[in-house]
Amino acid sequence: MAQLLKLGSDDSDSTFSPFETQFRRRIWWTLCWLEKRCAEDIAEPTSIMTWGSACSLPIKICDNDLCSRGSLPVPRVGLADNTFCLMRFEVLKLFFKLHRMKPDPTIRDERQRQENLVHLKEVLLNETKARLEEDVLQYCSDTRPFDWLVMHFVQAVMVSTGLCLNVCLIRINR
C-alpha cells in the first residue's frame, strides 16, 4: 500500500505541501521501522522496499512548525518533537547501510577482505555516532525524561551494533 501511494519517493517536483511532504516521510520511515522489526521477529530478511528507498528523513521540527502549512519550516537545532523518531530512523538508515556493504573484491585474501569490511563498518558506525552527538545528544540532559530516553536509546543501539561488529571480527580471527 505504501509503495502504491509512493510514500517512499521524494519527488522534488511534488504537488504536496511541506506539511504533506513531512508527514508522508514520517509515515514512510515509520513503516520501514515496523517492517524491519516484524522481519526480525520472524527471522526473515527485510523487504526490498526499505533497502532501495530514496525518501529523505523528515526534518527536525516541532509539530506546530507545520501548522502554518505555508513554506517549509527551518530545521530546529537541538531537540524537537520528532527527535526520538528521527533517532530511530537514523539507526534504521545505519542498519541498511551496514547490511548493504560488501567486501572489497580487489582484496584477494578472504580473511583480510572480511577484516577490511568490518573496519569500514566500524568507521560508518563511528561517523554516525559523531553526527548524532553533534546534532542531538549534546543538547540532551539526564534530568529531563525525554532527553534521557533519547540518550539511552542511541547509546544502547550503538553499543549493540558495535558488539555485533566485534563478534564478526572474533569469528574472522578464529
Query: Is residue 62 domain-shared with residue 11, that is, in the same domain?
Result: yes
| Total-model pTM | 0.81
Residue 91 lies in a domain: no
Q: Which residues in the chain come in under a pLDDT of 50? A: none
C-beta separation of 18 from 58 below 8 A: no
Backbone angles phi, psi at 61, to 5 degrees: -145, 165
Residue 89 lies in a domain: no
Domain range for 156 is 101-174
Decide which of 9, 43, 78 is a domain's last residue: 78
Cα torsion at 105, 106, 109, 112 (round to 10°)?
A: -80
* Closest listed residue to residue 168, CA positions, set 111, 108, 95: 111
Decide which of 44, 78, 112 is a domain's last residue: 78
131-162 pLDDT, tens digit per residue, is 999 999 999 999 999 999 999 999 998 888 88
pLDDT recorded at residue 1: 64
- Average pLDDT score over the chain: 83
Overall domain count for the chain: 2
Residue 67 lies in a domain: yes
Query: Is residue 1 domain-shared with residue 62, that is, in the same domain?
Result: yes
* Closest listed residue to residue 133, CA positions, set 145, 125, 143, 144: 125
Query: Is residue 66 domain-shared with residue 118, that is, in the same domain?
Result: no
- What's the half-sphere exposure (Cβ side, CA atoms, 13 Å) at 150? 27
**What is the residue-wise DSSP string for 88-100?**
HHHHHHHHHHHHH
pLDDT recorded at residue 120: 92
Residue 44 lies in a domain: yes
Residue 19 lies in a domain: yes
Decide which of 78, 110, 128 is a domain's last residue: 78
Residue 84 lies in a domain: no
